[in-house]
Amino acid sequence: MSSTETVTPIQNAVNIGPVLTQRLRDVGVTTLDEVRERGAIEIWQLIAHTAEGNECAHMLLALEGALRGQRWTSIPRSERDALLVEVGLKDASDLRAPKKR
């Protein structure tokens, strides 16, 4: 990292509130750069056991959105679904075909 680059504390990243910040700190993740280096899925796997149901999926999507610098709800549905399928939180057969316009 050059002297002109700054490190983003994890609590300052998009989507990362106090609860997720604490869960990340509990596993030693304190900066967005650490998430970027390891990827949303790998970091999520460290903390997934701390949540249940929708909260578990929301943590993964929040991490992915933080990496992209956008709210997780802005990630296209197809990309969110693919991520959830990849980690086993959603079955591919549950995915709906895109609506025709």
Domains and CATH numbers, the chain: 10-90 (1.10.150.20)
pLDDT in tens, 19-66: 999 999 999 999 999 999 999 999 999 999 988 877 899 999 999 999
Q: Exposed, middle or buried by CB within 10 Å (0-12, 13-18, 19+), for 91?
A: exposed
Length of the chain: 101
For residue 31, the SS3 value is strand
* pTM summary value: 0.85
CB–CB of 67/41 below 8 Å?
A: no
Q: What share of the chain is helix, strand, coil (3-state, %, to 5)?
A: 60, 0, 35
Q: Is pLDDT at 95 greater than 70 in this prediction?
A: no
Phi first, then psi, for residue 89 (nearest 5°) are: -85, -10
